[in-house]
Amino acid sequence: MALFRNFLRDGLRFVCAAALILASQRTEGQVPSGQTQDRAQLLGGQANPTVPNVTPSGENQGYAVASPNEKDIGEQQILKRMEEYRPFTVSVYSPFFWTSNVALVSSGEEDDFVVAPGVTLLYQPRITKTFYGEIGVVQQFFLYDRFSELNFSSFDAIAGVVYYLPQFHNLSLRARYDYNRLTDIDHFDEFFVNHSIILNADLPFRIGRAQQVFAGVALNLSFYANPDPPRRNDYSFYVGYDVALSHSFSIDAAARVAVRDYYAGDRTDVSEILSLSANYRIRDWLTLSALSSFAWNQSNHSVFDYSVANIGGGVALTLKF
* Mean pLDDT along residues 127-136: 96
Model pLDDT, residue 83: 58
Q: How crowded is residue 293: how many other Cβ atoms within 10 Å of its Cβ?
A: 24
Give the length of the chain.
Answer: 321
Does the structure show a pLDDT above 70 at 23?
no
Cβ-based burial of 8 (10 A; exposed 0-12, middle 13-18, buried ≥19)? exposed
Looking at domain 2-320, does it have CATH number 3.90.1010.10? Answer: no
Domain ranges of the chain: 2-320
Residue bearing the bigger pLDDT, 251 or 23: 251
Does the structure show a pLDDT above 70 at 76?
no
Model pLDDT, residue 32: 37
Q: Are 230 and 37 in contact (CB under 8 A)?
A: yes
Q: List the beta bridge partners of residue 139.
A: 119, 155
Residue bearing the bigger pLDDT, 224 or 12: 224
Cβ-based burial of 255 (10 A; exposed 0-12, middle 13-18, buried ≥19)? middle
CA–CA dist 129, 176 (Å, integer): 19
Cβ-based burial of 281 (10 A; exposed 0-12, middle 13-18, buried ≥19)? buried
Helices (H) and strands (E) in the chain, counts: 3, 13
CA–CA dist 64, 192 (Å, integer): 42
Name which of 107, 123, 101 is nearest 43 in CA terms: 101
Model pLDDT, residue 268: 97
CA 106-220-104 angle, 5° bins: 15
Q: How many CA atoms are closer than 13 Å to the CA of 315, on its beta-carbon side?
A: 4
Does the structure show a pLDDT above 70 at 70?
no
Q: Are 256 and 235 in contact (CB under 8 A)?
A: no
Helix/strand/coil for 13:
helix
Distances (CA, A) of 54 to 231, 237, 276: 21, 9, 10
Does the structure show a pLDDT above 50 at 15?
no
Model pLDDT, residue 63: 37
Percent of the chain residues past pLDDT 90, beyond the cut: 71
Q: What is the largest CA-CA distance in the chain?
A: 61
Model pLDDT, residue 41: 82
CA–CA dist 14, 29 (Å, integer): 27
Helix/strand/coil for 68:
coil
Q: How crowded is residue 27: how many other Cβ atoms within 10 Å of its Cβ?
A: 11
CA–CA dist 183, 205 (Å, integer): 40
User: Considering only 11-15, 63-67, 79-83, 267-271, which range has the smallest mean pLDDT?
Assistant: 63-67
Does the structure show a pLDDT above 90 at 28?
no
Model pLDDT, residue 248: 96
Does the structure show a pLDDT above 50 at 306?
yes
Name which of 270, 282, 287, 210 is nearest 241 in CA terms: 210
For the entire predicted model, the pTM comes to 0.80
User: Considering only 10-14, 19-23, 41-45, 195-199, which range has the smallest mean pLDDT?
Assistant: 19-23
User: Considering only 32-46, 230-244, 273-287, which range has the smallest mean pLDDT?
Assistant: 32-46
The pLDDT tens digits for 200-240 are: 999 999 998 899 999 999 999 999 999 998 999 999 999 99
